[in-house]
Structures are given as C-alpha cells and as structure tokens.
Amino acid sequence: MNGAPASPPVPVVVVGAGGMGRSWMHVVLDSDCARLVGVADVLPGAAERALAEAVEDPRRRGGIVVGTEGTDVALASGAEAIIDVTIPEAHHAVTAAALGAGLAVLGEKPCAATLAEAVSLAGHAEASGRLFMVSQSRRYNPHLHEARRLADELGGAGIVSTRFSKAPRFGGFRDAMRHPLIVDMAIHAFDAARVLLEGTPSTVRAISHNPSWSWYAGDAAATVHITYSTGAVHVFTGSWCSPGQETSWNGDWFLSCDGGTVSWDGETPPRAVSADGTAVDGAPPQADARWELAGSLADFCHALRGGPVPDGEVRRNVWTQAIVEAAVRSADEDRTVTLAEVLDEALARARELPGPESVQEALSRWEDGADGLRAG
C-alpha cells in the first residue's frame, strides 16, 4: 500500500423503488464505493416505503432525500449520479434528464425500450460528456472471465455454443410478451458471448417457436446464430418451458478453439481440454471478487473516480441490444438480419426523437448506425 487516501464514495440516487430498485438500494448500502443519498419513485410514497424497508434505523434515513422525480432528488441531495431502475419504457426520459442535468447514470438493462432510444441515449451521453453505463450484471461473473482466459490460452474461441433450459412460471408481463426468451433472457447470453469473442457482431439468424405445452403467449424457445466481424460464431439454443433436466440460469457453455475446448456449466469454474487431451481446471474466483450488481456498481464508481471506461458504457452496450433487435426481426421475417441494418434504422429514428440541439448535433456526426458506437 502507498498510503494514498481512498477515493470518496460516489453519492447516488436510486430511481425506481420496486423489487429491483430495492435490490440496488441494498447493494449501494453494502458498498464501499457508493453512498445512498436519495431514492425516487414516480408513485407517491413508494420511495419512502422502500427506504424504510431497506434502512430500519430512522436516524440513518434522516439524511437520505426522497421524492417522485429522480433528477430533482439528485440535485437536492448533492448526488453525482443516479441508478435508473425504472421500467424500460421510462429509461429514455429518466436517463436523458439526468445526463442533461450533469449527472452520470448507471442504468439497468435494457439500455432503453427500443434500439432507437438506446442510440439516442448514446447521443445524450456524448453531448453531455457524462458517463452512461448499462448494467449487464452477468458480465460480472468471475467464471465467465476465467473461461475467456482459458480459451485465449488455446488460441481464442472461434465457436461459442450456449444451451439454456429452464421452466420458470413468472406470471405477469413475461407471459404476454411476443418473444419472452429472446428479449428478456437471451440478452444475457448474447452479452456474455461478447466477453468471450473478439470482434463485433455482424449478422443474426434466429428461429423461434412456442411448444404446444408452453404457458407463454409468445415464443418461449429459440435458436439464434450470431456471426462476428472476426468470423467467430455464437449459437444460442434455449427454452423457457423445458422442465426436468434444467441448466443453470447462466446456461451451459462450450467454447471451441484452435488448440482445444473450454466448457462451463454456468455455476462452477470452467474446464479446458487441449488438443492433446490435457485437462486444466479453471481457477476459482478470488475471495474479494465482486459479483453481478456489486461488480457493475464498482466499475461505474471506479470510472467516475478516474478509472477506465467500463465495459457497459452505453456505446459498447448498444451492440448487445442490437443483437436482440436483429434476432426478433430475423425470427419474425424468417431471414438473416445484419446489425448494420438495424443500427442504421435506429439512428434514423433516434434523429427524429425530440431532444436538445446538442444531441441532434452529436447524432448528425455519425456516418452510419455503427459509426458512433465504434468509439466505444
């Protein structure tokens, strides 16, 4: 240790006091890099109730501001950033307002309700000069990064296969979605594969269907084939209505490399087998490893205190949402869809959304839908 003082924790406001918002509140309260200074929720009284549940001692609640509008609460509390845990349909308005007020934003996935709104928010971040990071929390799984390390030692993954089988009976909005598996669950696998593979996604071919026994209204099963600019491929095959021998929530993974293979069950350390049959067990996580939400928060705060741009920075994250958009379109139209196609359309629509002139100027400088994302 060099004796240098630790960076002060980042004062943050959690916007959205539902179940996930309460989870984020607990993560912030347990963190050494962030400090909860406010809670906001559009429903009157919801922020107060969530705070009372999370912080039982009234004396500790005394300095935490509550209200119904996130930016107002942030400015009143002296926050540097907000954590946007609102419903996806509110992400664009909440995040744009916060960035415009000079606040950094850590947002729950997806970046926004539509790809056009996600591209628009990349423009808002560029125009404001403030960090907007999207929390794809499953990136913060040490086993995933150990799988990448093992694959690199074998020459790098060229084919990544994911098998996902679960049978959750959520009820609620997922049961009514057109593509519940692709939109709400496979997004995690698409993003994790981007950790394992070099390059950017370029084309998507998806086939989806709904088994006869499914309790979902939309397609609860799908196979998605994603090609990358490097020639690498990710194949996801999954179902949300497959009871019996289920996979982990992260799925089962198989990485094919020039020098061997890597397998990972989604829960325990991965394992590599070289071309000559030598098996190597992946290293277990370090004792101080930060997982999922805690990892997202730590990366976000570290970036605000002078650290590197995090993996979830909006321009980097939009690629994952573009995969989802392309997969849905491919399944609906029975054809291969390019990322360039969906990103170009999203940029055109983003330019039509209302917003400050500075945002429109930022988006006008993009040569095409992917141009502004390449800087990220």
Burial class (CB in 10 A: 0-12, 13-18, 19+), 58: exposed
pTM beyond cutoff 0.85: yes
Rounded Cα distance, 261 and 257, in Å? 6
pLDDT 10s digits, 185-218: 999 999 999 999 999 999 999 999 999 999 999 9
pLDDT over threshold 70, residue 4: no
The label of the residue with tokens 């502004």 reads 372
Q: How many CB atoms lie within 10 A of CB 261?
A: 18
Domains annotated for the chain, with CATH where assigned, are: 1-140+290-314+338-376 (3.40.50.720), 141-281 (3.30.360.10)
The pLDDT, as a whole number, for residue 375 is: 54
pLDDT over threshold 80, residue 138: yes
Of all residues in the chain, the percent with pLDDT exceeding 90 is 89
Among 54-63, 162-171, 282-291, 355-364, the minimum mean pLDDT is found in 54-63
Among 18-22, 250-254, 286-290, 307-311, the minimum mean pLDDT is found in 286-290
Do 315 and 376 contact (CB within 8 A), yes or no?
A: yes
Rounded Cα distance, 271 and 325, in Å? 32
Cα torsion 40, 80, 303, 369: sign:
positive
Rounded Cα distance, 183 and 174, in Å? 10
